[in-house]
Chains A and B, each alone.
Chain A
Amino acid sequence: MTNESFIPNPPPRPNHYLDEQFWENCRNHVLAFQCCTSCETWRHIPRFMCAKCGSPDWEWRQSSGKGIIYSWTVVHKPMTPHFESIFPYAALVVEMEEGVRITAGLQDLDLDKIEMDLPVEVVFETLENGAVLPFFVPRKD
């Protein structure tokens, strides 16, 4: 037995259509989150119903792509093939203007310059494995 079975390897592995559609949007360089069409509450990660009002009705809405760094870690021990070439690397939690938070990678910022509430905006990075992932860069505005 090898260890391949439990060292997870990107790309994302959707379990069903909600995750598939989220990642399909990313492949088109669109960062979109679900929004409840009944009470207008945004949500992430994708869910089948609105936890606030109970409605099963929702639609994808494009995010402004802007947010702030909510938390992060800097990883010094690579866990997956892609990141072996770039460690140490940051894994962020970004709070978007819409209120949802997303886990993401970081570009164009020294790792020791990361701080809470730093304004960032989304870019899309294509990995060797074909995945197109949201990453964030410091906001210029």
Chain B
Amino acid sequence: MIDFRDKAAIVGIGETQYVRGANKPSAEQMLESTRIAIADAGLQPKDIDGIVLPPVLITAEEVAANLGIEDIRYSVSVNMGGASPITALQSAAMAIASGVAENVVVTVGWNGYSAMRPKPGVKVVEKISLAAMERTLTNYYFPYGCASPVQMYAWMAMRHMKTFGIENEAMGAVAVACRKHAQFNDKAINRGKPLDMEGYMRSRMISEPFRLYDCCLENDGAATVVLTSAERAKDLPHTPVYIMAAAEGHPYPADDIANRPDMFKIGLHNSAPKAFAMAGVKPTDMDFLQVYDCFTYVVLMQLEALGICEQGASGEFVKNGNIEIGGKYPLNTHGGLLAQAHVWGLNHAVEAVRQLRGDAPPEVQVPDAELGLVTGWGDFGDGSLVILRK
């Protein structure tokens, strides 16, 4: 296996405002966060020679034409739904480690509020079609009124809950922790809207076992990170955040949840051992965890897949403030998709960089953070993992 440990570093980060109704095409938002990130890196647009993107929303050619990049040496799209951005970090690090490209942009942005499910009074500036897993969806899930991930992931969550006796309060602990952290994040949509366990338990049922507050936000916005080689990173303005390891993983079969021999085995079960081996660290070494949280329960399943707790033990793991700031494993210190914004989890990578630079708001800064991880989750349980250090 190619070992690209510490060969690449994240040197620039950028975010738009995260809003409900951006009134801008997603491409324009991605270019905005990309301009911010390139400037943050102390680079010029013409320095960028690699572009890694999620599917559908923008092309490398469009990015290059807008930024004036005349020579793209490496471009690729990652097709893993919400796991795409973290897998994109793997792709970027590999391109840099191999010398194919030196300065790589990873960007994601969308009108997840105004284009996915238009609301009255919100101007629709574009239409999105996400075609991943289309055949399974249109033939075998949609006809039964399962039109959203909230219902499909519920099959995994329900069986897992019943098998291991995990209680609703465990899901609530994830929701409450993310909301608590969001109160200190100036881009968090749920800032100013605190949530306690009682409020969580009162929220209405959407698709059992998921309540409203088990579900992430819908919003518009974009984020970007810029990566470069370890050598070049030393000369740039910010403390480099090194990619110690990255890996992608897929469940089997990836395109049908129902027929998995083991419904609890997710993509992260495959990617986590590879990434920890490459990095030479253990899950329990982490100073923080930024875990993809489209729904609370997928956080529980990922904690088990990471190996940070035993299978079936995630409910106990998240209790007693263990995943809140001040606890042993602060999780989603920006609020996550549940309480900051849904930017396909690239906002989790941005937050990890802030933590390792020591630039997080003081209330949620993990003291002396040196090592952390970011997971991605997409489609029917694809899972990517990046391990970062300063």
Contact = CB atoms under 8 A, between A and B. Distances in A.
Interface string A2-22: 110111111111110001001
A83 interface: yes
Interface string A64-79: 0000001111111111
Given A6-B117, A76-B208, A71 B144 contact: no
Contacts of A2: 118
Contacts of A32: none
Given A6-B116, A12-B139, A74 B208 contact: yes
B147 A7 contact: yes
B158 A71 contact: yes
Given A71-B155, A77-B206, A6 B146 contact: no
Interface in A100-141: 100-105, 115-116, 127, 131, 133
A72 B155 contact: yes
Contacts of B151: 73, 75, 79, 91
A61 interface: no
A89 interface: yes
B117 A89 contact: no
B66 interface: no
A75 B154 CA distance: 10
Given A6-B116, A76-B207, A93 B258 contact: yes
B145 A76 contact: no
B282 to A, nearest CB: 32
A80 interface: yes
A58 B199 CA distance: 53
A17 to B, nearest CB: 12
Contacts of A6: 116-117, 127-129
Contacts of A13: 138-139, 142
B205 interface: yes
Interface residue tally of chain B, by bracket? 35 or more
Contacts of A14: 139
Interface string B101-133: 000000000000000111000001001110000
Q: Determine the main DSSP class of A at the interface with B.
A: loop
B164 interface: no
B136 interface: yes
Interface string B248-269: 0000010111110001000000
B159 A71 contact: yes
A49 interface: no
Given A71-B158, A71-B159, A93-B258, A5 B207 contact: no
Contact of A76 (B117, B140, B205, B253): B205
A8 B155 CA distance: 19
Given A12-B138, A12-B139, A100 B259 contact: yes
B189 to A, nearest CB: 20
Contacts of B206: 75-77
Contacts of B253: 51
A74 B117 contact: no
B259 A79 contact: no
Contacts of B147: 7-8, 79-80
27 contacts: A2-B118, A3-B117, A5-B127, A7-B117, A8-B147, A12-B138, A12-B140, A12-B142, A15-B135, A45-B255, A70-B263, A71-B263, A74-B205, A75-B145, A75-B146, A76-B207, A76-B208, A79-B145, A79-B148, A79-B151, A87-B145, A91-B146, A91-B155, A93-B258, A103-B258, A115-B162, A116-B163
Given A11-B143, A80-B142, 19 more contacts: A3-B118, A5-B127, A5-B129, A6-B128, A19-B135, A19-B139, A23-B139, A45-B136, A45-B255, A45-B256, A71-B155, A73-B155, A76-B204, A78-B145, A101-B259, A102-B140, A102-B258, A103-B140, A116-B162
The 6 closest A-B pairs by CB, nearest first: A73-B154, A83-B145, A71-B159, A79-B147, A10-B143, A8-B142
Interface of B: 116-118, 124, 127-129, 134-148, 151, 154-156, 158-159, 162-163, 204-210, 253, 255-259, 263
